[in-house]
Each structure stands twice: as structure tokens, then as C-alpha cells.
């Protein structure tokens, strides 16, 4: 299960401290202009070492296009992308290679496979998310060109600090700070919070919002291929994600039906206008034509220099201390990863909709 998607199928491979990481994107329609320069911006947005609030590992994250692109456009054949690892420091992991770091995948990988690559967390490392973002660049570009769909995200909560959670933030504000935070007046508070957290050696969770605009009505499949179910699965597959909400999500529990249902009235071009979007732009697993909205919860990073009780591979009690270059909050650079997974699911659903219902007359 290193692959996901149906008509657009993405496979990632590689370990954090191996020679390279990569992905294969299969099913992209031909004729989409793609160049190495297209990947730079989103990879930079996700990368470590771009502010003092993330891991200080410094990877160049230069994409090599190995296949599927000829004379600047996709050919319809599998697109293989490769990024070489250039700044792995495996000695940081020597002392914990035989120990299980609590909160990590160390124990579960060992229990499942009986063997694991402990260097940098191996395959379970957030390094793998680089290739999701690279694949997502292709999906974002196709969605924008074919449908004017835009997938964008921001951070709405860092530990106890909350932003206003606007439905449509000022995206220039979001991109103007290292947190992807929509309320620029709060950035100083976030900086001070993270500086204190880093000094304490602890970590914290975060919440990312993702909004897709321009999605037409009709994407998503009943019953087992619901758009919301596939978004939740894709977002939940990101390292450290522990919760996904669609639209108002868990707030719906305390709402009344009269409040939650989104009233409709006649709108322009024969399409309905909705008074609100509590549903997050999805009804019956199918897009309504409104913005599609998700909210994603990230747990606090488990790699801490604060000692913690654990066991080693032989079952002995040990005290684990993690050194190295870790993120005090993985959520800070998770916005582009969430956008990428969202865009990949949307593109797959768009292709599936076109395949089955491409000749259904618009009413």
C-alpha cells in the first residue's frame, strides 16, 4: 500500500536516509506542460530548514523528471520523479536504533515486519511527504488548467493559539509568514510561543484548514468512493495526522438540522445558490459546486530531547532521549502536504467523473 488513487494513481518510494526518494504518477492526461521549475515553490513551502521553527536538516529538494514528459508536456505515460537525499545525518540515530521511540512508528514497524530502517525513521519519516507534494504539483496544475480549481490551505491553530478560521483568508497574508497563518497580527505571538517551546524541548500539535474553490457539482462517487471518505483517507495518511473534519465536522454534533442544512435558492446560470456551507461542499459523497473544506489535526511531534520511558528490541526497560534535527511542530510545514493530498484526490475524482458521466447533459 504505497500507492493510492484509481484513474490517477500515485506511488511513492524511498526512505529518509536512503540515497533518494521518489514517486510515480500514473494516469495524468497528455499535454499538460510540466517542467522541473514547477515543483520548486511547493517543495520550498514544505521543506525543513526554511525558518528556525522547523527541523534544521537542509535538503536541496531538486526534482529530476525521469519519465512521462517529452518536449515540456506530459505524454500520458507514467511520470517518475526523483529527489536525492543530500543531508541525512544517520549517526543521530545510532544510539536509538535498538530502542522504540514512544509515539513513533518504530515499534509497530518492528512488530509488523520484524525488521526496519531506523535511520531518520526510514519509510515512516515525514521526508516521504516531499514526494506527495511533488505529485500534488501535477494535480494542482491540471485542476487549475482544466477547471480553474484552486486548492489552498492555512494553519488555524498552533497549540492553544487559534486564528479566526476564515472561510476565505487573504492568501497573501497566509504566504507572508512561516506558519501559513491568516492573521498576520498574531505572528509575533506565534514566534514567541515557538521559541519558548523549542527551549523547553517539548512539541505541540496544530490544525490545518484546506479549501478547494471552483470544484463543479458532481465529483465524488456513491457509495464507497465518496469524495469526503477519500479526502479523509488521503489526509489521514499524512504522518502525525490524528483527525480530519469535513465542513463543520465534529461541531455538527451540537447543531440542529435546521441550522446545519444549507438552504438553497435560485442562482445565476440555472445553478443553485447556497446560504451557507456547513456540509463542506459535499452531499452524499458528491461535490455540490461550493468550496470543499477540510480541517486536519496534527499530533505533537514525538521526537523530543526530554527523556521518556520505553523498551528496547529485546524487551528491556530503557530511557529514550532523541537528539537530532526535529520539528517542534510538524503542523507548521504541513499546509502544502494537505493541499497536495487534497488536489490528488480531486484530480482522481475528476477523471473518474469524466470517464463515467462525461456525456451526461448539464441541467
Can you give the binding site for ligand EPS, defined by CB under 6 A?
16, 48, 55, 57, 59, 88, 92, 120-121, 125-127, 130, 239, 303, 324-326
281/328 with CB nearer ligand EPS: 328
Q: How far is the CB of 180 from ligand EPS (least distance, A)?
A: 15
Q: How far is the CB of 10 from ligand EPS (least distance, A)?
A: 18
CA 302 to CA 121: how far, in whole Å?
12
Question: 253 burial class (0-12, 13-18, 19+ CB within 10 angstroms)?
Answer: exposed
For cell 505571538, name the residue.
189
Contact between residue 249 and residue 295 where contact means Cβ atoms under 8 Å apart: yes
Start-to-end CA span in the chain (Å)? 39
Strand 63-67 relative to strand 20-26, pairing:
unpaired
CA atoms within 13 A on the CB side of 187: 14
Neighbours of 207 (CB within 10 A): 21
205/220 with CB nearer ligand EPS: 205
90/213 with CB nearer ligand EPS: 90
Q: How far is the CB of 342 from ligand EPS (least distance, A)?
A: 19
| DSSP states along 9-37 | EEEEEE-TTSSEEEEEEE-PPTT-B--TH
120/182 with CB nearer ligand EPS: 120
48/157 with CB nearer ligand EPS: 48
Q: How far is the CB of 103 from ligand EPS (least distance, A)?
A: 10
Label residue 295 left, alpha or beta by phi (over 0 means left) and psi (-120 to 50 means alpha): beta
CA 355 to CA 307: how far, in whole Å?
54
121/205 with CB nearer ligand EPS: 121
Q: How far is the CB of 51 from ligand EPS (least distance, A)?
A: 13
Q: How far is the CB of 130 from ligand EPS (least distance, A)?
A: 5
Amino acid at each position: 500500500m504505497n500507492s493510492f488513487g484509481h484513474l490517477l494513481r500515485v506511488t511513492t518510494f524511498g526512505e529518509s536516509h536512503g540515497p533518494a526518494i521518489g514517486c510515480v504518477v500514473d494516469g495524468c492526461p497528455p499535454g499538460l506542460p510540466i517542467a522541473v521549475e514547477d515543483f520548486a515553490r511547493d517543495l520550498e513551502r514544505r521543506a525543513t530548514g526554511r525558518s528556525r521553527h522547523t527541523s534544521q536538516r537542509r535538503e536541496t529538494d531538486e526534482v529530476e523528471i525521469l519519465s512521462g514528459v517529452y518536449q515540456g508536456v506530459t505524454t500520458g505515460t507514467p511520470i517518475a520523479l526523483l529527489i536525492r537525499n543530500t543531508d541525512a545525518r544517520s549517526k543521530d540515530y545510532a544510539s536509538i536504533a535498538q530502542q522504540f521511540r514512544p509515539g513513533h512508528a518504530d515499534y509497530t514497524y518492528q512488530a509488523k515486519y520484524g525488521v526496519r530502517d531506523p535511520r531518520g525513521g526510514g519509510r515512516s519519516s515525514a521526508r516521504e511527504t516531499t514526494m506527495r507534494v511533488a505529485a500534488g504539483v501535477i494535480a494542482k496544475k491540471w485542476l487549475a488548467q482544466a477547471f480553474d480549481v484552486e486548492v489552498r490551505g492555512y494553519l488555524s491553530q498552533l497549540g492553544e493559539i487559534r486564528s479566526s478560521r476564515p472561510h476565505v483568508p487573504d492568501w497573501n497574508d497566509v504566504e507572508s509568514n512561516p506558519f501559513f497563518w491568516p492573521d498576520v497580527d498574531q505572528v509575533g505571538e506565534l514566534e514567541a510561543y515557538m521559541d519558548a517551546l523549542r527551549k523547553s524541548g517539548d512539541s505541540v500539535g496544530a490544525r490545518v484548514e484546506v479549501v478547494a474553490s471552483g470544484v463543479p457539482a458532481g465529483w465524488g462517487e456513491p457509495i464507497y468512493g465518496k469524495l469526503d471518505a477519500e479526502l479523509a483517507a488521503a489526509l489521514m495518511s499524512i504522518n502525525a495526522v490524528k483527525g480530519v473534519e469535513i465542513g463543520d465536522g465534529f461541531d455538527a454534533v451540537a447543531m440542529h438540522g435546521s441550522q446545519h442544512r444549507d438552504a438553497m435558492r435560485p442562482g445565476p446560470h440555472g445553478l443553485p445558490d447556497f446560504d451557507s456551507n456547513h456540509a463542506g461542499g459535499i452531499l452524499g459523497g458528491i461535490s455540490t459546486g461550493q468550496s470543499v473544506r477540510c480541517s486536519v489535526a496534527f499530533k505533537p511531534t514525538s521526537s523530543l530531547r526530554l527523556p521518556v520511558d520505553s523498551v528496547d528490541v529485546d524487551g528491556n526497560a530503557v530511557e529514550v532521549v532523541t537528539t537530532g534535527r526535529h520539528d517542534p511542530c510538524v503542523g507548521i510545514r504541513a499546509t502544502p502536504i494537505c493541499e497536495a493530498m487534497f488536489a490528488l484526490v480531486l484530480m482522481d475524482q475528476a477523471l473518474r467523473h469524466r470517464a463515467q458521466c462525461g456525456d451526461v447533459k448539464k441541467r
